[in-house]
Amino acid sequence: MLYKKRLMTPGPTEVPPTVLAEAAKPIMHHRTPQFRKILTEVVAGLKRVFKTENDILIYPAAGTGAMEAAVVNLCSPGDHILVASCGNFGNRWTDIAKAYGVQSEHYEVAWGTPVDPQEIQKRLAADPAIKAVFTTLSETSTGIESDIKTIAGIVAKTPAVLVVDAISGLGAIPMKTDEWKADVVVAGSQKGLMIPPGLAIVSISAKAWELANVSKCPKYYFSWAKAQKAMKAEALADTPYTPSISLILQLAEALRLIEAEGLEAIWDRHARLAQATREAMKALGLKLYAPQQASNAVTAIYVPENVDVSKLFKTVRDVYGITLATGQGVAKGKIFRIGHLGYADDFDVIATVAAVERALLEQNYVLQIGQGVAAAEKVLFGR
Amino acid sequence: MLYKKRLMTPGPTEVPPTVLAEAAKPIMHHRTPQFRKILTEVVAGLKRVFKTENDILIYPAAGTGAMEAAVVNLCSPGDHILVASCGNFGNRWTDIAKAYGVQSEHYEVAWGTPVDPQEIQKRLAADPAIKAVFTTLSETSTGIESDIKTIAGIVAKTPAVLVVDAISGLGAIPMKTDEWKADVVVAGSQKGLMIPPGLAIVSISAKAWELANVSKCPKYYFSWAKAQKAMKAEALADTPYTPSISLILQLAEALRLIEAEGLEAIWDRHARLAQATREAMKALGLKLYAPQQASNAVTAIYVPENVDVSKLFKTVRDVYGITLATGQGVAKGKIFRIGHLGYADDFDVIATVAAVERALLEQNYVLQIGQGVAAAEKVLFGR
């Protein structure tokens, strides 16, 4: 039986055909006006997606590399920071801080619930030495969307800077860097930006540069100052070390697709796909892992009793061709996750809901055939 | 006028068509048996190219990232190391060490000349606290090939480990990791491995792991222990953070091409292309920048008097379509460089020599037309 491959994970996400095609073009040299013009345009396009006039730097790295870059460029050993975590990726901020001798006040909420901005305000007031607050826009492990707007409003009134891991949120759900006053925003390439993994991107405000200028954590490859110097030395952008040329060319094409669709239209699409997924799962009698502040990038769903989650996941992937995600950390074995992120449309969601229905039926889960898909259609068709 | 694009730089190098095509395939998820099987095969293939049974780790990063990884995983602040440098990339070892508070004894020779293994022996004897020696296989900035075999023989008799930047040499010129006893070997993707930039690779000996196990430099993204744990936890290889999926697929295909041609045949091809390039340049009356221990990956040539190197470079690139490299650091303005590295054949070298002849003629440099190409042909045709 032919089942096409569909990638419905919260990263990597499907890469549009014209973006794939860019990588098949002959490689060009990076120290040329041709490439540097493309890099310059990519930076300008990224600023529109980040909704910022702040500086943008791009590293060949996984998203975690840009997270480490934020810690080592903003902090000095012994500095106090506040990490507001609601899952696996929020916890990574504290892990990185520990590796560099930075004192992390670790505020972690129960997985499946969002961090409370008031708690951040309280902890900032309690420790005026806190230099930076690190948190997560869309927590991939739990499907929570943090209220960055409120958090940023609180942090902006203090001397601390706000650092947002927007890796799986940027280009999918609202992230208004300048309007909200988010000082440092970190992104990855393989999520809403719709290209393969391998690029880590960061935006840096003037307030963040002030901290960076006195930071004493050791760094070389991830030094913002070095990257900024190459980026700004001449009219055309450049990098201190060899950039991921093919991924930059792919990003240029992905940014053209984003401009053509429009960022607000993309946010609306993600909201619609997420709402359809949530309603479909509820119609199937399943329970959402994160019922409040659910992220429009990924939906986490409790596995019902008497359903084998590993078997469900493998049936959907290996028989029906649709890759979902399972649970991480404390949610392992308890949930599965559907990514509706990046290059995904209404009919991808319908196909995914149908495949979940089918795999549930095969495990003798009681449902009326089509009830999940019907609920998705109601949302998607606006009826 | 149509002139095809040819990349004759010491990296990035041309990517073979079947390797380009791999990147145009739909992206697959990395936490799947399908991808992990490919990653496992890639590691096995890399071991054959490194000629090692040592552990191999792969990072999404520029080659400099793997250099930093070697420093921060082997050293502690205050440690003594010896850097043996013959150019820009050798100097980078000391720059990285300084960033982490590691004390670098910096042994740098005049550019265009090789480091002296006896000097390394002398300095190791003078400071028994030296924990590691860092040097370069093929110094891209000057076109020198270091005598790693002799250096490794010297270092192996001491408690120090040898770290070799083989970024622009691996897969082009001999690097016999285990036979020579090179403890840590660092490579990049965009050179002899013939794929786009974005992967940094490192091999690690048991002697190097002993140092790594007590290293106190801070690290997170580049931690060998973390990467090793993911690589070895199960039968199939894995990575701690999202790998550069598309580049790994391309590397799998490039390794198939390398196996098909044979590593020794590839070394022979590079020796022939390099010899042809050197003979052609000499026949044109040009002087080699590195007449002794010239690297078979890249040839550096002095710009003759009354020739404008910037104009020569731009004519060859922008008119005739062939990208060469200019000089770096102290060699800037004095030399140009021809890469004959990776996916390059006899006729690429002939085309390049012809383009250099043509651009020289256009600057009224006196030469007999075809004299460079004839010298190249003599070598290439074995006559």
- As annotated, the residues of chain B forming the CATH 3.90.1150.10 domain(s) are 6-12+262-380
pLDDT tens, residue by residue, B356-373: 999 999 999 999 999 999
Residue A176 has pLDDT above 90, yes or no: yes
The Cα–Cα gap between A279 and A348 comes to 15
Predicted pLDDT at B256:
98
pLDDT tens, residue by residue, A199-239: 999 999 999 999 999 999 999 999 999 999 999 999 999 99
- Cβ separation of A9 and B29 shorter than 8 Å? yes
Predicted pLDDT at A358:
97
Phi/psi of residue B323, nearest 5 degrees: -90, 120
How confident is the model over B80-84, as a mean pLDDT? 98
- Residue B343 forms contact with A (CB below 8 Å): no
Query: Computed over its alpha carbons, how large is the radius of gyration of chain B?
Result: 21
Q: How far is A348 from chain B (nearest CA, A)?
A: 15
Best residue of A221, A224, A253 to probe chain B, by most B CBs closer than 10 Å: A221
How confident is the model over B210-218, as a mean pLDDT? 98
How confident is the model over A362-375, as a mean pLDDT? 97
Residues of A in contact with B247 (CB under 8 A): 196, 198, 244, 246
Which CATH fold would you assign to the domain B17-260? Aspartate Aminotransferase; domain 2 (3.40.640)
Cα nearest neighbour of B21 on chain A: A24
Mean pLDDT of chain B, nearest integer? 97
pLDDT band at residue B39 under the 50/70/90 scheme = very high
- Cβ separation of A20 and B24 shorter than 8 Å? yes
Residue B96 has pLDDT above 90, yes or no: yes
- Residue B329 forms contact with A (CB below 8 Å): no
- Cβ separation of B101 and A247 shorter than 8 Å? no
Phi/psi of residue B13, nearest 5 degrees: -110, 165
How far is residue B320 from each of residues B339, B351, B368, measured CA to CA in Å?
A: 16, 10, 20
Pick from B349, B233, B364, B255: which is nearest to B307 by CA?
A: B364
Cα nearest neighbour of A325 on chain B: B31
- Cβ separation of A25 and B20 shorter than 8 Å? yes
User: Which among A28, A59, A96 has CB closest to B220?
Assistant: A96
Residue B130 is encoded by which pair of tokens? 């030296």
- Cβ separation of A188 and B242 shorter than 8 Å? yes
Residues 254-283 of A with CB under 8 A from B: none
How much of chain A exceeds pLDDT 70, in percent?
A: 100
Mean pLDDT of chain A, nearest integer? 97
pLDDT band at residue B135 under the 50/70/90 scheme = very high
How confident is the model over A45-66, as a mean pLDDT? 98
Residues 47-86 of A with CB under 8 A from B: 59-65, 68
Predicted pLDDT at A3:
96
- Cβ separation of B63 and A242 shorter than 8 Å? yes
- As annotated, the residues of chain B forming the CATH 3.40.640.10 domain(s) are 17-260
Residues of A in contact with B202 (CB under 8 A): none
The Cα–Cα gap between B294 and B85 comes to 15
Residue B1 has pLDDT above 90, yes or no: no
pLDDT band at residue B321 under the 50/70/90 scheme = very high
Angle made by CA atoms B279, B282, B287, in degrees to the nearest 5: 130
pLDDT band at residue A366 under the 50/70/90 scheme = very high
Q: How far is B100 from chain A (nearest CA, A)?
A: 5
Predicted pLDDT at A352:
98
List beta partners, residue A159. Answer: none
Residue A1 has pLDDT above 90, yes or no: no
How far is residue B172 from each of residues A90, B100, B114, B296, B376, measured CA to CA in Å?
A: 43, 32, 19, 7, 19
Residues 210-239 of B with CB under 8 A from A: 217-223
Angle made by CA atoms B122, B126, B128, in degrees to the nearest 5: 115
Q: Please provide the CATH number assigned to the domain covering B6-12+262-380.
A: 3.90.1150.10
Residue B2 is encoded by which pair of tokens? 């149509």
Residue B166 has pLDDT above 90, yes or no: yes
User: Which among B13, B21, B244 has CB closest to A24?
Assistant: B21
pLDDT tens, residue by residue, A123-139: 999 999 999 999 999 99
Instruction: Check residue A159 and report its DSSP letter.
Output: S
The Cα–Cα gap between B114 and B120 comes to 12
- Cβ separation of B62 and A242 shorter than 8 Å? yes
- Residue A120 forms contact with B (CB below 8 Å): no
